[in-house]
Amino acid sequence: MDALHGVKALLAASESYFLDRSNSDEPLRATCCALAHPFQLQLHCHPATLYHLDSAALASCTALIADRDSAATTIERMAARLLTAVSHLKAAACVKGRFFDRLDSKLNQLATLDSNELVSIDLQAMATALCRGQKEKV
């Protein structure tokens, strides 16, 4: 994600990588993981661009930005809530440039070296709890 958009005081505040070891074919799992960071860093009020390597994730993300109510699964509903809560969010393909180069380098490093940077999370449990919390408020 890039939240700079002309704001010179903001630097790269966070970098994270998501490895999906589930057998899920849900393309928005990494998107949900990425969208948690603006809230943790209190940057969700700044315009942001969310760069995707996966074309299916980009297509799903774009569809949910256009129509939040099209979400069918718990992961999609979680993504829809996060996507609409970040200010002026844009989705874009990440095919070249500084983000792509840094990402490619980091993923190669993580694949070949032992690292304490990898942390397991249960994204499905998070999405289920988020959806349950939304139903309780209605």
Encode pLDDT of 66-88 as tens digits: 999 999 999 999 999 889 888 88
The SS3 assignment for 74 reads helix
Per-residue burial over 4-17, b if 16 or more Cβ lie within 10 Å, else e, is eeeeeeeeeeeeee
Strand locations in 10-136 (E): 48-52, 89-93
Q: Which residues face 92 on adjacent strands? A: 51
User: Which of 21-25, 52-56, 91-95, 133-137 has the weakest average pLDDT?
Assistant: 133-137
Distance CA 4, CA 63 (A): 24
| pTM recorded for the entire structure | 0.72
